[in-house]
């Protein structure tokens, strides 16, 4: 009498599980990349250069701040 026992499901191989997870991640990345490409397609090359320059300056400032905070 099996009232509370669950049937054991066949165990999938680790490779199959990893492949499914990787496929979902790649699909999400592709969706995000397509969305961002659609948003930035209207920007000029100069605007994109300014944005990249600003991000580089902000990242450099943040890294410098971390460096000085670690010294103190």
pLDDT tens digits along 5-64: 666 665 668 888 899 999 999 999 999 999 999 998 999 999 999 999 999 999 999 999
* Lookup: tokens for 29: 């990345």
Does 3 or 27 have the greater pLDDT score?
A: 27
Domain that holds residue 54: 14-71
Residue 40 lies in a domain: yes
Give the separation between CA 7 and CA 3, rounded to whole angstroms: 11
Is 0.75 topped by the overall pTM? no
Q: What is the model's pLDDT at position 28?
A: 98
- Establish if 67 belongs to a structural domain: yes
Domain assignment present for 58: yes
- Report the number of distinct structural domains present in the chain: 1
**9 within some domain:** no
Q: Residue 72, SS3?
A: coil
53 and 45 Cβ atoms separated by less than 8 Å:
no
């Amino acid at each position: 009498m099996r009232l509370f026992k669950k049937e054991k499901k066949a165990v999938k191989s680790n490779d199959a599980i990893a492949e499914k997870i990787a496929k979902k991640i790649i699909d999400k990345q592709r969706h995000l990349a397509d969305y961002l490409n659609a948003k930035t397609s209207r920007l000029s090359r100069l605007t994109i250069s300014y944005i990249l320059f600003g991000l580089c300056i902000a990242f450099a400032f943040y890294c410098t701040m971390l460096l000085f905070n670690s010294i103190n």
